[in-house]
Structure 1
Amino acid sequence: MIWKFKEHSILNKYNEETPCKEIFQAVCDEIGSYYTQKGWKYARSRPKITFKNSELKIEISFWSSGSNTPGEFVNLEILPNISSLELVKHYKSQDVKSKGYILSFTDLFTERLDNKPNGSKIIINAFGEKIETINEHRPTPEIKYNKNVNLYGLSENDFIKLIEFIESRVNIWIERINDIDQIDTFLNKLTDVTKQNLIQKDFGKLIKLKFPSYEVN
């Protein structure tokens, strides 16, 4: 993938006095530009990209932070929600209203961490950087994919990594939702608590609807 910022974008040249909100908006505009080329919709005023087909609706909202610091830190928070339109249709046939929400950032950005002692936690950001911590009061070892990104100093190469992060953690579900083997792999990477919560909610109902012979291990 190759990406160049828009010719007149402030991302090509800014300094420590550039307002954080301008940097945030410029990055959201670049994300919006990338995804509109792929058929998504982009809402600029409250930055959000939306994908919809006959099966799924994916909404990814982008928030910033009151802790932004000019010249140092501009936060981008990635907040996805995935809805099943198949499930909405199924509920409607039973006269039940539902938004069909099946996955959110709490499910998409956390995995079980194997072969580590209790309390272990690895945090991986969109650029692949890792931080490992241990907290003895946290029972389950886990991996957290950090949904927050510091945009200050973002390069075009960093932007590509940001897009790849969104694709691999969220948009992969456009194809994965029809592949029970991939769904099974996903579930088996979750912590036991997250997996049980998902199975008991609409995600589990959708899996039973699409793959009635599948049994969760």
Structure 2
Amino acid sequence: MKQLILSSALLALTAGGALAQDVVRMGTEGAYPPYNFINDAGEVDGYDRDVGDAVCEKAGLTCEWVTTDWDSIIPNLQSGNFDTIIAGMSITDERREVIDFTQNYLPPLASAYATMEPDTDLDSAVVAAQVGTIQASHVAESGATLLEFATPDEAVAAVRNGEADAVFADKDFLVPIVEESNGEFSWLGEDVALGGGLGIGLRKSDTELKAKLDEALTALKEDGTLNTMAKEWFGETAPQF
């Protein structure tokens, strides 16, 4: 899923003590369905919201949701604007250099290419991806030409307007785009498994909060709650714990 790689210099911006507060603030993007989005009532919704609420209830925490742009989500965590990141963010070694993660709350999901030109050669293609994601890193390492955009919708739009030959993103994000395009978009190449699954990001200093969240996630795995939520948001083929 989506990921941000930042300079280790951001480590100097740590702001600990989340559990000393009355409220734990859950940071998300709110623009990446079905993981997180803003619903018609103007509220954060999606798989991340359901998991976050369940974790907070299980851990006995009072939580509130905060939205921010994807490209500033780690700096905002580090500077104390919120206490966790739960935003469809994959666990990666690069990110672990800057922040900490809980255990995963969703196993690794497939990433995929979508295109309007089925004969596109991925080896020489111009591929659009959201900036700071593991998908963007994968494209950069593949030999294809990478075009990065601030949002996933802008990456899709780049294919529509001819700037890019294909878009590479989480497959679950692209499925409705491909299926509802009336044949305009099609899949290209094979699915790609990236990252270590989705995790809740925290400041490295918030060890007590991390322990509480991990304990709650373990319980939600053991009682089947996370598996049920995954099926509700991603269908019967969703990966299970």
Per the normalisation by structure 2, the TM-score is 0.27
Larger RCO, structure (CA 8 Å, separation 6 or more): 2
| Structure of higher CA gyration radius | 1
Per the normalisation by structure 1, the TM-score is 0.29
